[in-house]
Amino acid sequence: MNATLMILVAGPYRSGTGDDPAKLAANVEAMNRAALDLFRAGHLAVTGEALALPLLETAGSARPGDALFEEIFHPVAERLLSRCDAVLRIGGPSEGADRMVALARAEGRSVYTRLDDVPAAGRPETRPQPGG
């Protein structure tokens, strides 16, 4: 039987948005929807954005990519990943999300690329195939 996993949802935030606020918000919404699905499957899902964006606002970041963004955004996700059991990679191209996948694999954590591959809590786990 599987226990509840803490899963980092990694997907594009800035990639392909031109930093358009509506597109950024849509990317966050996509990650939040995946996190909700994971929660309903019995897991604790987290996103780096949920932690980093309020910190950026508090720190006074003026826009994505500014010095405060670079100081905080990806480092928050990397620190969060160190506490997670797995990563669910969603969406299209994203250097940051791909970095989270690479770090997770290097640390021996499970990486899922489809929600259907994530075992529900209490269901026998099937490990993802290499590269999957």
Domains along the sequence of the chain with CATH: 6-113 (3.40.50.10400)
**The predicted structure's pLDDT at residue 128:** 52
> pLDDT tens string for the chain (132 positions)?
478 999 999 999 999 999 999 999 999 999 999 999 999 999 999 999 999 999 999 999 999 999 999 999 999 999 999 999 999 999 999 999 999 999 999 999 999 999 999 998 864 444 554 455
**The predicted structure's pLDDT at residue 121:** 84
**The predicted structure's pLDDT at residue 131:** 53
Q: DSSP letters of the chain? A: -PPPPEEEEE--SSTTTTT-HHHHHHHHHHHHHHHHHHHHTT-EEE-HHHHHHHHHHHHT--STTSHHHHHHHHHHHHHHHTT-SEEEE-SS--HHHHHHHHHHHHTT-EEESSGGGSPPTTS---PPPTT-
Residue type, 73: F
**The predicted structure's pLDDT at residue 124:** 46
